[in-house]
Structure 1
């Protein structure tokens, strides 16, 4: 028997969650964000689960090439654009939509006008409306006025139907979190005289759920597609009718009887208050389980909630089996996913679902539950 650490990928949940986006955004087109190799679940699963999306959005050209090689013929958006002049050419060769967030990228494109003319992909100029990360700055009147030149340069490269304007929200997970950014955005659109045919893209997962006024032409959902809540401080994923797209599981590989007063694990962080049974789970930080998980972090043993006790080690964790007297070596354990919210576990560890999903390491075996039918 091989080590039982396992990530099960529920492809039907990917399709279900995409439909939840569709139900909320009306006529807006959907970029299914598949960066980080589909948030750690694999681009092959994304292709099947998100087959009805209008486009796929990734970070790296290698991811885009994988999608093309697998048969995806629809739009592919490179979320940070190209990282060099040579990559600009390579991205255009496979007809990728490119984000343009700084002047060098615009300059590289001017050197590939003949290639641009043969393709159908869009160029998306990104504006900084308050995130202060990527994008041409647009938070003051003088900054917005200075954007007339780069906007004119992009307009000279492609026709209106192949131009797009985008921004990214820093605080869309808050009820009033996009007001300032939207004020900057509307002022910018007036300055550059938004033209018919030019597409707009603003909304991430949180904005899809909380800010319908920001849906625009294209939305860019990420975490909600994978069953995580983009605003866990407000509502869990299930309240948005989202389903977990993956389950991290393992099994008990040992059971120890620990006398009262004895300490458990590295550093003896946990001390037994009474005589107790401790289960040892084949799962540790080398698998992507959070080393900072505190005592009390829930797991499911045979479907019963049991608390983590003691320090997470590289290959194992230890859990209190008091609530599960039937537990024995071989009993199934769920770390997060179906039956145990990834958001709950993440918040207890001081992190978020994004980190848990993308942090599962390559030594954890993967098992696919294929999506076999159409989503109603």
Structure 2
């Protein structure tokens, strides 16, 4: 019996010219806002190494996995690389700081990790707020409390 994929030959074709055009349009429409290219899940299955070069005009890149962030940092010395789910252990936090990654914070546990960190290096933090999708993010009623806790981490 044939598999579903044999009956439905699906393919995605990556057009670098289209990527360049889309990036140009997005940058123009965004004004002064920073624009990051999200290349999580190995470039959404298209291959991180093939996709990210087409995003060179963007202000930064965003990934989920530490491995992807580490690879990108070997290629990208100065552009921001945002770790979308943040870190989950002291070792990951140490690695992220060493790689100069920007971090999303979406839980009290991640704030605790930052509070316990004794690094002399700074780290850029993006506080993720749960606006209704209920995947990741602090509750809107806890935003001020979390923000203040994060401010104390850098004081």
Same fold (TM over 0.5): yes
- Tell whether the 8 Å contact from 1:81 to 1:100 is kept in structure 2 after alignment: yes
Structure 2 residue aligned with 1:55: 60
5+ residue gaps, structure 1, are: 139-143, 160-376
Aligned pair partner of 1:155 in 119, 143, 151: 151
Query: More helix per residue: 1 or 2?
Result: 2
- Tell whether the 8 Å contact from 2:82 to 2:101 is kept in structure 1 after alignment: yes
Number of equivalences: 146
Residues 275-314 of structure 1: pairs in structure 2 closer than 5 A:
none
Answer 1 or 2: higher relative contact order, Cα 8 Å, separation at least 6. Answer: 1
Q: Residues 25 and 85 of structure 1: is their aligned pair in 2 closer, same or farther, counting only changes over 3 Å? A: same
Q: Residues 136 and 71 of structure 1: is their aligned pair in 2 closer, same or farther, counting only changes over 3 Å? A: closer
The runs of at least 4 aligned residues of structure 1 exceeding 4 Å deviation read 5-8
1:118 aligns with 2:114: no
Query: More strand per residue: 1 or 2?
Result: 1
1:87 aligns with 2:116: no
TM-score by length of 1: 0.36
Structure 2 residue aligned with 1:128: 130
Residues 160-309 of structure 1: pairs in structure 2 closer than 5 A:
none
CA shift, 1:72, in A, is 4.4
CA distance in 2, matches of 1:72, 1:8: 29
TM-score by length of 2: 0.83
- Tell whether the 8 Å contact from 2:97 to 2:121 is kept in structure 1 after alignment: no
- Aligned to 1:38, the other structure's residue is in SS state helix
| RMSD over aligned Cα atoms | 2.0
- CA offsets 1:71-122 (integer angstroms, 9 cap, x no match): 34210111111122221111111011111100111111122232xx424x41
5+ residue gaps, structure 2, are: 1-9
Q: Residues 95 and 78 of structure 1: is their aligned pair in 2 closer, same or farther, counting only changes over 3 Å? A: same
Residues 10-89 of structure 1: pairs in structure 2 closer than 5 A:
10-89=15-94
CA shift, 1:45, in A, is 2.6
- Tell whether the 8 Å contact from 2:84 to 2:104 is kept in structure 1 after alignment: yes
